[in-house]
Structure formats: structure tokens, C-alpha cells
Amino acid sequence: MKNRQAIALGVLSLALVAAVVYQWRGGNARPAVPGSAPLARPRSPAASPIPRIALDRLVPRAEGRAGKRNVFDFAPAPTLPSATRTPNAEALAQAAPPPITTPPTPPPPAPLSVKYIGSVEKKGLKVAVFLTDRREVLTGQEGDLLANRMKVVKIGFESVDVQDVGSERTRRIPLRGN
């Protein structure tokens, strides 16, 4: 068993050394980027000297606007050539836009005059009792909508907070007796 492990380890080591040597000598060199030429590895400094760049062959560019623009200098908007302008376009440019009119909002409903006359509580369930100006009795728990106009927000000992549905305004109604 030990003999087989030693042989397998030796073969594996030999394959690893062969792969390293093959790569070191530049075998099967692939390009770094697909579609480009493979990179050549110099074998010695004398065999492949660094190429000389002939800077004297460079031609200076002709003077132009490249690099001369000031990004903080704002110019007026370009105008269209007079051939493409029409008399109607100039008249439209000078005409003022029509005023925007919005339809009038409907008037808010008249405030509902109610009196908080008390609350009833049984086993943790609170119910507020209200009396309207028409002598109607309204009852509701927290979160209930009364007379399609107000929502009970919070029921306290001496007051009730209600929210007007139309205006989303919350008001506090104090406890009143007869």
C-alpha cells in the first residue's frame, strides 16, 4: 500500500514539474485578450531588446478648437437658419400661452355639530355616544365612521378625538352634560 502511494506521488510530482517547465518555456501561449496577438516572452535581454519609439515621426496637430472650450462659458442658444423658419413659428413664439384654469373645488360640507355626552365600556370595549344638533344619537368605537362625515380616532375619559373625513383635520370634542 505504501509502495503504491509513493509511486502515485512521484508520478504526480513529475507531471507537475513538466507542466511548470512547459509553461516557463512559452509553450502554447494564449493571448491575454481574445482576438489579440499572443504575448511573447523574451528568452534573454539580448535576444529581444526594447523597441525604440521614434518620437520624431509624430506630427503636431493643426490648431483647432479641441481642448480650447471653456465649459463654464455659456453661449446663447443656437438659432435656426432663416430658411427653415416660418412666419407662423415666429408668431407662435411671441404669443403668450393661454392661462391655465382649474375647475373650482366644491365647498366643504358644513361642520357637523355634535356633542360628546359620554362613553360606555364593557370588557375593554369602549363605545362613544354623541348627540347631534338634530337630537340624533350616534355611537361608535375607535376607527368607526359616523354620519359619513367623521371618524372616531381616540376615546378618552373626558374627551373624544374625531377626524373630519373631507378635510382630514382632527379635533377634540370635550365631554358635555345636559
List the chain pLDDT tens, one digit each, 178 residues: 678 888 888 888 988 888 888 887 775 555 555 555 555 555 554 555 777 777 777 766 556 566 666 777 776 666 766 655 555 666 666 666 677 888 888 776 666 688 999 999 888 899 999 998 888 999 999 999 998 888 999 999 899 999 988 778 888 999 876 5
Taking a C-beta distance cutoff of 8 angstroms, is the pair 142, 126 a contact?
Answer: yes
Per-residue confidence (pLDDT) for residue 86, from 0 to 100: 56
User: What pLDDT is attached to residue 8?
Assistant: 87
Q: Which residue in 142, 143, 146, 110 sits closest to 130, CA to CA?
A: 146
**Domain residue limits, the chain:** 114-174
For residues 131 and 139, is the Cβ–Cβ distance under 8 A? Answer: no
pTM for this entry: 0.39
How far apart CA 150 and CA 162 sit, in angstroms, is: 6
Q: For cell 403668450, name the residue.
A: 96
| Of 157, 126, 131, nearest in space to 142 by CA | 126
* Cα distance between the two ends of the chain: 107
What was the pLDDT predicted at 4?
A: 85
DSSP letters of 76-101? PPPPPPTTT--HHHHHHHHSPPPPP-
Residue 21 C-beta-side C-alpha neighbours within 13 Å: 6
With beta carbons less than 8 A apart as the criterion, state whether 100 and 159 touch.
Answer: no
138 closest CA partner among 119, 154, 157, 124: 119
